[in-house]
DNA sequence: CTGTATCCGAAAAGATACTG
DNA sequence: CAGTATCTTTTCGGATACAG
């Protein structure tokens, strides 16, 4: 902890090169859920129980196919969701949260609570700060 | 929520341009604590109760002055820490967590718990995934 | 339908030098 | 001591085209 050089999350595959990582567990989690789309994907798959690619694409306005794929792959790699491919024509792929991801989602909801409790404080603080410039 | 186009955190000042933001509270929080150094700074200031600039610089190996400054400014702007400047020579600046930040830190510690509980699962999943490539 | 492959611009972070 | 200013590098994400 407090080791410095904590890598931030990325949607691109992670080589794990950054030698001084993997030390603070908290940054580890944050790496997993950071990235512009991870939370949205996690939340939607969780809400649907089981989700298909195009369904996610439609459910998350603004996401590109590339980013959806990248985000899904990273979450799968980290064991947060499973990917099941049916070799039919047309193909069908199903995504589901793992139990670990469901527990994570629960913990994250506590963070959401914090955000709701303090959102006016944060907003006011920003206005103050920006005005004082 | 699930609105798409959630901006990710940045250490650079945030203009708030990204029109479709500020909708999912969770992404709001994540924006605040993302950035490579935010958690480290938050944690160290919290541990010291009151911290000075150089103290933080020494306590967070690898951080540059620029990034320390940017990170501190963003946290201050969001009302997560206070900055008190004493116009002495040499100058002295003190940083403290706000109450909101202490509550945030507590919630984040629950995330850390998740990370510790699942870190072997995640690690194994990654090895599996990478092997299968 | 479920992806890949490329290329490109934007944004985050690092290096280095300078200052009240 | 506590920052700024500038420049460069690295990483992330968007756009577009193509494919099994």
Predicted confidence (pLDDT) per residue in B47-81, tens digit? 999 999 999 999 999 999 999 999 999 999 999 99
Domain count, chain A: 1
Closest to A129 (Cβ–Cβ): which among B9, B26, B76?
Answer: B76
- pLDDT band, residue B10 (cuts 50/70/90): very low
pLDDT digits (tens, 9 = 90+) for A41-53: 999 999 999 999 9
B12 touches strand C (CB under 7 A): yes
pLDDT of A24 strictly over 60? yes
Find the CATH number of the domain harbouring A72.
1.10.10.10
pLDDT digits (tens, 9 = 90+) for B19-38: 333 458 899 999 999 999 99
Decide if A5 is inside a domain. Answer: no
Stretch 55-84 of chain A: residues touching chain B, C-beta under 8 Å: 59-63, 76-79
Decide if B28 is inside a domain. Answer: yes
- pLDDT band, residue A13 (cuts 50/70/90): very low
Between chains, do A125 and B24 touch, taking CB under 8 Å as contact? no
Between chains, do B24 and A39 touch, taking CB under 8 Å as contact? yes
Decide if A133 is inside a domain. Answer: no
CA of A87 to C1' of D9 (A): 43
Query: Bridge partners of B97?
Result: B81
Closest to A36 (Cβ–Cβ): which among B8, B25, B103?
Answer: B8
- pLDDT band, residue A4 (cuts 50/70/90): very low
Cβ-based contacts of A15 with chain B (< 8 Å): none
8 Å CB contact between A95 and A45: yes
Average pLDDT, chain B: 87
Decide if A37 is inside a domain. Answer: yes
Q: What is the CA radius of gyration of chain B?
A: 18
Domain membership of residue B44 as a residue range: 22-128
Decide if B13 is inside a domain. Answer: no
Residues in Cβ contact with A124 at an 8 Å cutoff, skipping those fewer than 6 apart: B79
Q: What is the CA radius of gyration of chain A?
A: 18
- The span from the CA of B84 to the CA of B81, in Å, is 10
Q: What is the pLDDT of residue A23?
A: 56
- pLDDT band, residue B11 (cuts 50/70/90): very low
Q: What is the pTM of this model?
A: 0.87
Between chains, do B78 and A126 touch, taking CB under 8 Å as contact? yes
Decide if B8 is inside a domain. Answer: no
């Amino acid at each position: 902890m407090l080791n410095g050089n904590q890598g931030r999350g990325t949607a691109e595959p992670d080589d794990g090169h950054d030698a001084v990582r993997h030390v603070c567990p908290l940054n580890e989690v944050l790496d997993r859920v950071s990235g512009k789309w991870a939370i949205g994907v996690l939340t939607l798959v969780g809400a649907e129980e089981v989700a298909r690619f195009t369904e996610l694409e439609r459910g998350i306005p603004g996401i590109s196919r590339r980013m959806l794929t990248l985000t899904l792959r990273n979450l799968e790699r980290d064991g947060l969701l499973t990917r099941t491919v049916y070799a039919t024509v047309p193909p069908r792929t199903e995504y589901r949260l793992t139990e670990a991801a469901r527990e994570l989602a629960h913990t994250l909801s506590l963070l959401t609570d914090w955000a709701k409790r303090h959102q006016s404080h944060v907003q006011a603080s920003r206005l103050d700060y920006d005005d004082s410039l």
